[in-house]
Amino acid sequence: MVRQNNQLAENLPQLQNLIKRDPASYKEEFLAQRQQLTNIMSVFQLAPEQSNKTINERVMFMAQVAQCYPKEMEDFPQQIIDLMQKHNTVLNNNIRMGLCKALIMLRNKNLLAPTDLLELFFQLLKCQDKSLRQFLESHIITDIKNMNVKHKNAKLNTTLQNFMFTMLKDSNSRAAKMSLDIMIELYKKNIWNDAKTVNVIATGCFSKITKIMVASLKFFLGKDPEEKDSDKSDSEEEVDPKDVIMANKFNKKTRKRAKVLSKVKKLAAKSYKKKSQAVAFNFSAIHWLHDPQGMAEKLFKQIEISNHRLEVKLMTLDVISRLIGLHNLFLFNFYSYIQRFIQPHQREVTRILQFAAQASHELVPPDVIEPLLKTLANNFTTERNSSDVMAIGLNAVKEICTRCPLSITEDLLRDLAGYKSYKDRSVMMAAKGLIHLFRNLRPELLHKKDRGRPNEATDEMEKLDYGKTDAKDFVPGAEVLLNEDHSEVSIELNSESESDDEQWVDVPHSDDGGSDEESDLDEEEEEDDTGRKILEPKRSKAEILKEKKSLAQKVTIERLLTDEDFKRIDLANVQKQMQSTKGSKRKLEEEALKNRDDLVKLSDIENIYKKRKHDKQTRLATVKEGQEGREKFGYKDGRVNIHCSKTNREKSKKKNAQMMRHKAHGKVKRSFKDKQIALRNHLLKLKKMK
């Protein structure tokens, strides 16, 4: 049936709406449009570089109604793909963008296989159209993410990863760089977080294209997003929002409570956001590498023969140092190469010192790192340098010795420890930090006066040897659980006797001033059956330590330790540093040997104990930063409605002092006669009222 005065052929939006409502009734109009588009495309291929607005409109119309006629549109997506593969680089930018949008629409309607579309888009990354490349990159990431939402599509992922691996070797630098960016973004989004992706990205570190090499190096230097907020105190995260909200509901409303409530709500929202995100770990990408030793050697060889800028060399050195420190690799030439740049006047010297510390580990022979430490001490820790340079040198020595404590000699350590009495505070504190470190690692290298008083923790310390592993078959400190069990029983018995006899009973406790070692070292007193005291000979430290070890092994084997038990053990291990074996207590020193991280923080090397002088502008900026979000200081208008009138007393507070001068004269002290008259008048008034 032919419609008279049919205007739908020229009004594509109306025809599109009608077809979606009733596809069968408007099939003839659709077929006419389909034939017309075929004719237009055949003519268009004769001059594909020219702009043609009609073809974009027709193609988008077909993509909108394609699901209504699946048989007739079965070969339509392949026609568009063939057209773009044949003329991808010569097509007009607007036409190319319109065809890509139409293909994406067909892909969203499941009328096109994902592999066909993604392979085409990867080929289009070679086009010199920046907006198109950004558009395609965003779509590829989103499409792959949506395909792996419910479950990982391993077959599709393998196909695309193989294709991207070939794209990284492509001669077109733009396409290779975009492919690398897509893989990195998919890894960050926890979609392609597998070993194959990491090792494909690792090949980019050896690319001849500088942009690809730098992007790959930055990927392996990536940090956990949580480290950005690491400077905030842990006490903020420990606040329970429910408790604060409930307390604010019933307590008196104050500005301070309102401020705390808003702060807690922000922290709760942030913690919820962190929990909803995928788990990310520092250096997780480096863990996936198949051959870290080979990669470190290739990168080191590359940096020796290349002529890149200093920034690129520093990034390469950073990756090498992380590989060495994390996987305990052997690359002895790296330390001699770093040694050449350890000079105070060297650019980015603190970062170079950071790399030296990161590349240190316990398996490196001490004679390999020893020349590095001597060079560091000779060039930095000398009185001809400034105090800041000396402090940085001492901090670097401390960080290196934390990871390789056998690398320093006794003479060098004692020379550096002598700066504990230096006139400058920054150098003095850095030297004391080094002393505190070796009190916990190798106290025998220090002077006797620097070792501190021996405590239980130092008595249990074993001598460090190269290649020796300290593998224990028990939980150190577990013997404290037996003492706590006995103390709990004695407390219960004593509490019962106290309730019966109504008198105080001395209950022994593990936290009393006298330590167990003191009673063990002195002559122990016990009573026999007749009540007479028996003196036992005192035992040696070795016997005490052996007994504690056997008790700890017994507890570890016979009991299932809970979280509470581990907390008690940790507390007891901390108390060992407070309990002196010579009978007197000393304060707990600063914990020098912290939990060693794989990454050396630059702030640990640049840590200088000095109060910096600020100029006026810096001080004003600090003051203004502290005033942000704070209410304005001064008189606060307590009116509910700001348009209502004020009292005379409120108005007088803003008046000029000369205007209120006459009011002040009225407050002169009354004389005794005036007080008598006032009292008489008051009494007369009371008498009349009766």
Least confident of 178-192, 202-216, 563-577, 591-605: 591-605
Rounded distance between C-alpha atoms, residue 141 and residue 180, angstroms: 12
Q: What is the pLDDT of residue 244?
A: 61
pLDDT tens for residues 488-539? 434 343 444 444 443 333 433 444 434 343 434 344 444 444 444 444 455 6
Query: Is residue 323 predicted with pLDDT exceeding 90?
Result: yes
For tokens 């419910």, the residue is: 150
CA distance 661 to 679: 29
- Summarize the confidence of residues 395-419 as an average pLDDT: 92
Lowest mean pLDDT among 63-77, 329-343, 375-389: 63-77
Closest CA to 374 of 348, 347, 401: 401
Shortest CA distance to 581 belongs to which of 551, 538, 550, 549?
538
CA–CA distance, 34 with 203 (Å, rounded to integer): 47
For the chain, the structural domain boundaries read 1-112, 115-223, 242-276, 291-460
Mean pLDDT of 66-93: 85
Question: What is the spatial distance between Cα 325 and Cα 328, in angstroms, rounded to a whole number?
Answer: 5
Q: Burial level of 370, CB count in 10 A (0-12/13-18/19+)?
A: middle
CA distances from 88 to 119, 126, 166 (A): 13, 9, 19
Tell me the pLDDT tens digit for each residue of 173-208: 888 888 899 889 988 888 888 888 899 999 999 988
Alpha-carbon distance values, 599 to 356, 595, 604 (Å): 11, 11, 11
Burial label, 353 (beta-carbon count in 10 A; 0-12, 13-18, 19+):
buried
Please check the confidence at residue 449 and state whether its pLDDT lies above 60.
Answer: yes
**Selection from 156, 102, 155, 100 nearest residue 123 by Cα:** 100
Categorise residue 110: left if φ over 0, alpha if ψ from -120 to 50, beta otherwise.
Answer: left
* Mean pLDDT, the chain, integer: 78
Contact in structure between 519 and 512 (CB atoms under 8 Å): no
Query: pTM of the prediction?
Result: 0.65
Nearest to 577 by CA among 461, 687, 497, 670: 461
232-275: pLDDT as tens digits: 434 344 445 666 666 666 677 787 777 777 777 777 676 655 55
Residue whose structure tokens are 């006459």: 662
Residue 584 banded pLDDT, cuts 50, 70, 90 = very low
Q: What share of the chain is helix, strand, coil (3-state, %, to 5)?
A: 60, 0, 35
